[in-house]
């Protein structure tokens, strides 16, 4: 007699008593694929739609180490209506020793809305174990809930609500059989990784958290419902028009996406360039500011990537522009706000090669540096966009505020700090100014912006030999221009504990958390990115002015 003989009928439903195997080698570790969901006491829950050619997998461990030839016999019964047998595997999965027995039930044998129970015994056809081990009781539910209806007063279909760059909420109305709503803004819903809406018991609807709509024009919110069995409805699309802000905030140095927040840019595992701001959830994956195909590096397979490129951004008319150094070439990427997929984007068609300045200038403490000045970019070790460093008025002919620091090998193993200034057009410089002696080979150069309030940027360096971070304060001359020798004076210790083993990459893009103090950020060997809030009272023991690490980007 089948395994249903070991079950107990109660109230019309089959409950599943505990049934360990009655002998060594009996079935253990009973399981199903897919695993039922939304279960309760005595009921494993629901199995969702398996598809027209799908199947339900039943599994059990049978046999024993060094044991004889043994197999398994699976049965599935409908619960109620006389408990008829729905599926009988016969004797399957015969093998020696401990092994996994399995059987697959075609979806065509299961009826929507019916409840089933299964059992399994071990042995062989000529020597069966009379004791059945009982598996799950479950209900087959292959009918998905209806798609949600989407509305938003923040972002109406025809516009008239909030502007691009602002955040708003979307509401979802569903039928009672929906237990969740999944959604995605301006991208189809990913399998297994969709964001889920929040249930609002007051209105009886689901809602998103405030979502920032970055691009102006037509946007799309995709959504689908999930029922108790895990079935997902067809995706529905809410298309709406978002006008551009007629009075957009002025871009600030460090802001790529023109939303008033500082952005940290890093290449992800795929080679795409991602942006992270204080509004970004660490596990979200960031905002794509340039796809892998726009990267400056060509892989051996002939594809493009951002991985391995030196990147830096600071200054621009509509959000930061980007410099990227790769394979002996320095590129200038113009920021294209309002482009897809984000407000602030770098595309290869908007990039150009930066020409090497012909004019070399030595500051007072860098005499002789021009004798080692290279005619190309091959000796470049670091590139740091800095904004207006020299203090020369931008209205002057041949001058702008997009100055850049580089650190370059002098041909003798020493590294020289250079300032490239006098931008006459996007990505071109008039002159290269040597700053101080060529002693920067163990330093990481960073520009936090104007920390002291004189309108000129400070210079930070990380000493790779001890993990200390120092600040060189800017100084103006009587004529208002910068005294570049200030970047070679005795620096002030502002950070400790940033050794290269723990933090292979350290940098700054300014005031990340918008508290009025420039912050440091660092990337760990596993790819996580942390910020360290600046402006704290110096630690009496170490002099460190940075607060504890705060995760902004998961690996």
Q: What is the pLDDT of residue 5?
A: 36
Structure token digits, residue 204: 């009886």
Q: What is the pLDDT of residue 253?
A: 85
Nearest CA to 432 out of 330, 342, 355, 358 is that of 358
Is 50 exceeded by the pLDDT of residue 126?
Answer: yes
Both 335 and 439 in a single domain?
yes
Is 60 exceeded by the pLDDT of residue 17?
Answer: no
Per-residue pLDDT averaged across 268-290, rounded? 85
**Preceding omega of 479 cis (within 30 degrees of 0):** no
Is 70 exceeded by the pLDDT of residue 258?
Answer: yes
Q: Using pLDDT thresholds of 50, 70 and 90, give the confidence band for residue 284.
A: confident
Q: Using pLDDT thresholds of 50, 70 and 90, give the confidence band for residue 345.
A: confident
Q: What is the pLDDT of residue 433?
A: 94
Both 520 and 462 in a single domain?
yes
Q: What is the pLDDT of residue 259?
A: 76
Q: Using pLDDT thresholds of 50, 70 and 90, give the confidence band for residue 23.
A: very low
Per-residue pLDDT averaged across 34-61, rounded? 91
Q: Are strands 171-173 and 167-168 parallel, antiparallel or unpaired?
A: unpaired
CA distance 473 to 437: 18
Q: Which of 60-64, 165-169, 337-341 has the lowest mean pLDDT?
A: 337-341
Q: Using pLDDT thresholds of 50, 70 and 90, give the confidence band for residue 195.
A: confident
Both 121 and 155 in a single domain?
no
Q: 257 lies in a domain?
A: no
Q: What is the pLDDT of residues 196-209, one digit of tens each?
A: 999 988 888 999 99
Both 83 and 166 in a single domain?
no
Domain of 95: which CATH number?
2.60.40.3930
Nearest CA to 313 out of 508, 498, 503 is that of 508
Per-residue pLDDT averaged across 494-508, rounded? 97
Q: 378 lies in a domain?
A: yes
CB neighbour list of residue 274: distance below 8 Å, 6 or more residues apart: 265, 266, 267, 268, 285, 286, 287, 288, 289, 553
Q: What is the pLDDT of residue 397?
A: 45
Percent of the chain with pLDDT over 70: 90
Q: 3 lies in a domain?
A: no
Is 80 exceeded by the pLDDT of residue 445?
Answer: yes
Per-residue pLDDT averaged across 283-307, rounded? 89
Both 276 and 371 in a single domain?
yes
Give the 3-state DSSP-derived string for 333-379, with helices as H, strands as E and coil as C. Answer: ECCCCCCCCCCCCCCHHHEEECECCCEEEECCCCCCHHHHCCCCCCC
Q: What is the pLDDT of residue 20?
A: 34
Both 236 and 182 in a single domain?
yes
CA distance 453 to 474: 10
Top-confidence residue, 277 or 465: 465
Per-residue pLDDT averaged across 30-56, rounded? 90
Q: What is the pLDDT of residues 416-432, one digit of tens each?
A: 999 998 764 556 788 99
Both 218 and 84 in a single domain?
no
**How many domains are contained in the chain?**
3
Is 90 exceeded by the pLDDT of residue 24?
Answer: no
Structural domain of 411? 263-553
Both 129 and 196 in a single domain?
no
CA distance 353 to 370: 23
Q: Which of 139-143, 155-159, 426-430, 527-531 has the lowest mean pLDDT?
A: 426-430
Q: What is the pLDDT of residue 401?
A: 65
């Amino acid at each position: 007699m089948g395994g249903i003989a070991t079950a107990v009928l109660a109230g019309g439903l089959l409950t599943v008593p505990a049934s360990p195997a009655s002998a060594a080698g009996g079935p253990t570790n009973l399981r199903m694929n897919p695993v039922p969901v939304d279960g309760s006491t005595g009921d494993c829950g629901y199995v969702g739609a398996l598809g027209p050619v799908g199947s339900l997998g039943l599994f059990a461990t049978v046999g024993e180490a060094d044991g004889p030839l043994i197999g398994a016999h699976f049965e599935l019964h409908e619960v109620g209506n006389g408990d008829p047998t729905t599926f009988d595997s016969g004797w399957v999965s015969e093998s020696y020793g401990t092994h996994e027995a399995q059987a697959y039930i075609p979806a065509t044998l299961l009826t929507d809305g019916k409840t089933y129970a299964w059992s399994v015994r071990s042995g062989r056809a000529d020597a069966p174990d009379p004791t059945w081990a009982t598996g799950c009781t479950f209900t087959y539910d292959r009918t998905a809930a209806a798609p949600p209806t989407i509305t938003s007063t923040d972002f109406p279909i025809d516009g008239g609500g909030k502007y691009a760059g602002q955040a708003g909420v979307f509401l979802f109305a569903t039928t009672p059989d929906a237990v969740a709503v999944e959604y995605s803004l301006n991208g189809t819903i990913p399998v297994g990784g969709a964001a889920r809406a929040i249930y609002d018991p007051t209105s009886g609807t689901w809602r998103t958290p405030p979502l920032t709509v970055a691009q102006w024009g037509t946007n799309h919110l995709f959504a689908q419902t999930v029922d108790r069995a895990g079935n997902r409805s067809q995706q529905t699309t809410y298309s709406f028009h978002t006008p551009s802000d007629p009075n957009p905030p002025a871009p600030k140095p460090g802001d790529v996406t023109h939303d008033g927040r500082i952005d940290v840019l890093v290449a992800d595992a795929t080679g795409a360039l991602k942006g992270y701001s204080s509004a970004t959830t660490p596990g979200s994956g960031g905002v794509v500011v340039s796809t892998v195909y726009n990267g400056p590096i060509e892989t051996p397979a002939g594809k493009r990537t951002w991985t391995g490129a030196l990147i830096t951004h600071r200054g621009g008319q509509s959000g930061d522009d980007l410099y990227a150094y790769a394979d002996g070439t320095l590129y200038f990427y113009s920021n294209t706000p309002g482009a897809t997929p984000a407000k602030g984007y770098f595309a290869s068609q908007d990039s150009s090669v930066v020409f090497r300045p012909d004019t070399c200038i030595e500051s007072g403490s860098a005499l002789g540096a021009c004798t080692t000045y290279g005619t190309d970019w091959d000796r470049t070790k670091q590139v740091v966009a800095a904004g207006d460093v020299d203090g020369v008025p931008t209205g002057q002919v041949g001058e702008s505020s997009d100055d850049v620091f580089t650190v370059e090998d002098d041909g003798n193993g020493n590294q020289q700090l250079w300032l490239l200034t006098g931008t006459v057009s996007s990505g071109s410089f008039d002159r290269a100014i040597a700053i101080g002696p060529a002693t920067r080979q163990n330093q990481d150069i960073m520009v936090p912006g104007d920390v002291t309030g004189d309108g000129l940027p400070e210079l930070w360096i990380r000493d790779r030999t001890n993990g200390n971070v120092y600040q060189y304060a800017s100084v103006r001359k009587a004529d208002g221009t910068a005294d570049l020798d200030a970047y070679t004076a005795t620096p002030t210790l502002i950070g400790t504990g940033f050794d290269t083993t723990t933090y292979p990459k350290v940098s700054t893009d300014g005031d990340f958390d918008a508290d009025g103090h420039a912050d440091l950020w660092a990337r760990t060997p596993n790819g996580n990115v942390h910020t360290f809030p600046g402006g704290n009272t110096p630690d009496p023991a170490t002099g460190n002015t940075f607060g504890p690490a705060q995760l902004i980007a998961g690996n």
